């Protein structure tokens, strides 16, 4: 079987957003393509854990980057960017 040993416990950051349709959407930035959605947060967390386990079993993220942090930026205000 390809991939890393899933018996080794690993932790990943999960990004959670709420869509216009009311569904929660989760992704694991360190595992490309690892996304899921659900109507509730508990259901979402169960699904994203399953999705992450499948990604790892398939070898996705074997060399995963480590998330350093999330930051907010402010956009807008008085300055206008030059036209493209």
Q: Is the distance from CB of 55 to CB of 41 less than 8 angstroms?
A: no
Question: Are 32 and 66 within 8 A, CB to CB?
Answer: no
Rounded Cα–Cα distance for residues 7 and 58 (Å): 14
Joined tokens for residue 39: 């109507």
pLDDT score recorded for residue 44: 97
- Give the position of tokens 């040993």: 5
- Position 77 pLDDT exceeds 50: yes
Contact 31, 52 (CB under 8 A): yes
Cβ(34)–Cβ(60) below 8 Å: yes
User: pLDDT for 25-43, tens place per residue?
Assistant: 999 988 989 999 999 999 9
Q: For the domain covering 1-84, report its CATH number.
A: 3.30.160.250
């Amino acid at each position: 079987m390809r991939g890393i040993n899933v018996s080794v416990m690993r932790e990943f950051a999960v990004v959670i957003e709420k869509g216009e349709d009311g569904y929660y959407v989760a992704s694991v930035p360190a595992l490309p393509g690892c996304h899921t959605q659900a109507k509730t947060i508990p259901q979402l967390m169960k699904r994203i854990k399953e999705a992450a386990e499948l990604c790892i079993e398939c070898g996705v993220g074997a060399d995963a980057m480590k998330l350093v942090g999330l930051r907010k930026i402010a956009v807008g205000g008085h300055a206008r960017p030059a036209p493209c």
